[in-house]
Structure 1
Amino acid sequence: MQNDQFFTRRRMLLAGAAALGAAGTAGAFLASGAGETTETAPAPVAGPQARQALKSSAFRLQPLTGDGPPRAAPRRLKTRREPILRISGRGRNMMLTFDDGPNPHYTPHILDTLAEYDVRAMFFVCGECVVKYRELVARMAEEGHVVGNHTWTHPLLTTLNRKEIRSEMERTSDIIEDTYGERPQWFRAPYGAWNRAAFQLGAEMGMEPMAWTVDTTDWDTPGTDVIIDRVEHGAAPGVVVLSHDAGGDRSQTVHAIREWLPHLLDSGYHLTVPRRRA
């Protein structure tokens, strides 16, 4: 998953970005990789129901200014020893996640498909992409998706020292907040390579570590049919699906989601996102 080389520099977000919505986090009952269920939090929001609850007044654009109020310190969380791999709770709930973006060639198509089927997802974004394509992150927030931290340059964290890891994570949280007024409450380590420093720093910054249950392997461009098959056969209550909207040629991902998303919905699954933690 090398960082994508972008061909054009799209316009920056004109005057602001969405300040409210489901860009925050803290899901329902979250299960750790060891199968333990963590503390109870508000129930996750199913995609279609979440859309119906949104009103046009739920989102507003704020001008980006350099002289705004100082950032509030995030609430420090308990440090985990392993990332969250799945969601738990009653019902046929699943969660869709996309990494490495935003990217102007693929992210808009994925957002269009999600909007067509009234579904919310999580996007783990890289800071160096956000600064180039702020308008796409603003759109994510406006349409009720959750935006998470995926570091600034997508490095292998296990090769960095603590100071370098902090910089990668903190800069990304800052640019996300500058874009639409909310700091991310979820973090995902690039390549799924976690270490103690990543868990500790994420907790200090108020972010829970999120991994995945089903890897579509779209990062390896295995073919559209393979991606569809991995999602449809991996579907189950509590599953977190990993896909990518950047980091390479993601045209297969764009085509595949148009097939497997309506299949999941027709099979009775609800695609959820975590609620924002107050």
Structure 2
Amino acid sequence: MHTFQQTGAILFAIAAVASAQSGSASSSPAPSSSTSGILAQKSPEWLPKFNVSGVSTSYPTGAPDTGETLDKTTLDIKSYPNAWEPASTNHPEIEAVMKAIDWTKVPKATPAKADKDGNVVFGNYDEDKDPYCWWSDTNCVKPKVDYLPEDVYYCPKAGDWGLNYDDGPYNPSDEDAELNKYAEPVLYNFLANNNNQKATLFYIGSNVVTYPAAAKRALNNGHVLCSHTWSHPAMTTQTNKQVVAELYWTLRAIKEATGVTTKCWRPPFGDVDDRVRAIAWQMGMTTMIWNKDSNDWNMPGDGGGDLPWDTVDGYFEGWVEGRKNGSDNTVGTICLEHELNNATVKMTEKWLPTLQQTFDVKSIHDCMGITQPYWEQNWVYPENASGNSTTGNANSTASSSSSAAASSSSSSASSGSSDASGSAEAAGASSGTTASESSSTTSGAASNFSVSSAALGVVMVVATAFMY
């Protein structure tokens, strides 16, 4: 996995204020900013209404649920595409979304080619001009069009650790008792038992349909739910209608299971460009990436790879040491982690307590100051929901040592980097597991970077001045 060559979430901090505040389900647009020019968002009125039971209707304030078992009843699977197969596009509900999108505000980028395994083929894309801000090729996070906000990819405050997990909810296995030991609610219970820790969870729609009780547990325990598509394809390889379908069926599944309509999504492998961003934005969601990568998906485990456990350990050791010795003092962390399999859950069980002693661990939304992550207005998350203030972060402030403006090439080397291979690996659709979570870049950049204090100052002033 590679880091970004561009800095700042400034536009997002400014532009998403009004849309994040507008948690109503009304059809009236809610401008992101009255002056920024960012395309207005509105609640996805094309989603069905559901009668949902067994979930909170506002932020839970009681003790978290740590029951060891969950109901295995699925959603109505006949109403959805087949789990872990490409999202079906031939459906009236998809047509309704297509009609609701302003296609003049969707850049006309040609979908990328994919090889037989679903990997992105980069071809002759002009990476110097990077006309569509294609993250997989250039690590671009600031759209080239002025009506979209910048991606969220780091926490503004140094010392914050925006905890997040991809690919959930981790379903139990029908065949393997050992794997079942790590299926949900194991991770969610572990978080609850460790300072009632909150996280941002990027859900695969297929996994929500087959295990909605896990999504309910996560919401009821105060985690933030986001979309990670229906079947985990490289999204720039999808047609416009396929992009809509991958996002729509996941939004629908999350809402049917939990009653909330999320405002956030993460592209599989980080594979996103302005065409895909624009569709997701008009479907009510902000794009979230990362600035560190644990590469935990590639450890030996169900659907994993062959990256040694000790290598991933080394990444965490380096990040903790960097924070302790003061070299990690510019921005906070959004580190890519997974609830993909037994190995990834074991890794977070090992490292979360240490991270909590070193960083202020909180959800991405908490570190960004986003208190209304859903379109339902009754959901308001408190600041610092985990209450995880640590000695290791007591003196952490945004760095004020640099006076340079944010640069588009502020990457710096980190132990969490991965080799550039020229392709983005696709999801293993048949098994419901992820072949890889990294999208390759031609730069070979590493998985950590720094941002100038000028950019950070703007972010923190905006974050202080507005409540999401």
User: Once the two structures are superposed, what CA deviation does each residue of 1:210-251 show, in whole Å capped at 9, x if it has no partner?
Assistant: 0011111111112333333323423555100111112xxx22
Which protein is bigger by CA-based radius of gyration? 2
Q: Matched residue of 1:86: which SS?
A: coil
Unaligned runs of 5+ in 1: 1-31, 43-52, 67-72
1:166 maps to 2:257: no
Q: Which position in structure 2 is the counterpart of 1:94?
A: 161
Listed as ranges, the matches of 1:85-124 within 5 Å are 85-89=153-157, 92-104=159-171, 105=180, 106-117=183-194, 118-124=196-202
One-letter code aligned to 1:102: P
Q: Which position in structure 2 is the counterpart of 1:35?
A: 8
Q: How far does residue 79 in structure 1 lie from its aligned partner after superposition?
A: 4.8
- 2: CA distance, partners of 1:234 / 1:201: 35
Q: Which position in structure 1 is the counterpart of 2:235?
A: 157
- Would the alpha carbon gap of residues 34 and 267 (structure 1) be closer, same or farther in structure 2, given more than 3 Å must change? closer
TM-score (norm 2): 0.43
- 2: CA distance, partners of 1:79 / 1:101: 31
Listed as ranges, the matches of 1:65-144 within 5 Å are 79-80=147-148, 83-89=151-157, 92-104=159-171, 105=180, 106-117=183-194, 118-144=196-222
1:266 maps to 2:357: yes
Q: Which position in structure 1 is the counterpart of 2:372?
A: 276
- 2: CA distance, partners of 1:267 / 1:58: 24
Q: Which position in structure 2 is the counterpart of 1:56?
A: 62
- 2: CA distance, partners of 1:36 / 1:84: 6
Q: How far does residue 266 in structure 1 lie from its aligned partner after superposition?
A: 1.5
Native 8 Å contact 2:60 2:220 kept in 1: no
Q: Which position in structure 2 is the counterpart of 1:239?
A: 333
- 2: CA distance, partners of 1:232 / 1:266: 13
Q: Matched residue of 2:164: which SS?
A: strand
Q: Which position in structure 1 is the counterpart of 2:462?
A: none
Aligned-pair identity (%)? 25
Q: Matched residue of 1:206: which SS?
A: coil
Q: Which position in structure 2 is the counterpart of 1:211?
A: 289
- 2: CA distance, partners of 1:36 / 1:129: 30
- 1: CA distance, partners of 2:362 / 2:317: 14
- 1: CA distance, partners of 2:332 / 2:224: 17
Q: Which position in structure 1 is the counterpart of 2:134?
A: none
- 1: CA distance, partners of 2:309 / 2:190: 16
- Would the alpha carbon gap of residues 79 and 240 (structure 1) be closer, same or farther in structure 2, given more than 3 Å must change? farther
Listed as ranges, the matches of 1:13-28 within 5 Å are none
Number of aligned positions between the proteins:
223
- 2: CA distance, partners of 1:186 / 1:139: 19
Native 8 Å contact 1:110 1:254 kept in 2: yes
Q: How far does residue 163 in structure 1 lie from its aligned partner after superposition?
A: 0.6
- 2: CA distance, partners of 1:273 / 1:158: 24
Native 8 Å contact 2:155 2:364 kept in 1: no
User: Once the two structures are superposed, what CA deviation does each residue of 1:81-107 show, in whole Å capped at 9, x if it has no partner?
Assistant: 652211213x63111111112123434
Native 8 Å contact 1:224 1:255 kept in 2: no
Native 8 Å contact 2:169 2:203 kept in 1: yes
Q: How far does residue 168 in structure 1 lie from its aligned partner after superposition?
A: 0.6
Higher strand proportion: 1
Q: Which position in structure 2 is the counterpart of 1:183?
A: 261
One-letter code aligned to 2:282: E
Q: Which position in structure 2 is the counterpart of 1:12?
A: none
TM-score (norm 1): 0.70
Q: Matched residue of 1:183: which SS?
A: coil
User: Once the two structures are superposed, what CA deviation does each residue of 1:22-68 show, in whole Å capped at 9, x if it has no partner?
Assistant: xxxxxxxxxx94325233559xxxxxxxxxx9423999xxxx999xx
Native 8 Å contact 1:102 1:245 kept in 2: yes
Name which structure has the greater RCO, CA cutoff 8 Å, separation 6+.
1
Q: How far does residue 272 in structure 1 lie from its aligned partner after superposition?
A: 3.1
1:223 maps to 2:308: yes
Q: How far does residue 165 in structure 1 lie from its aligned partner after superposition?
A: 0.4
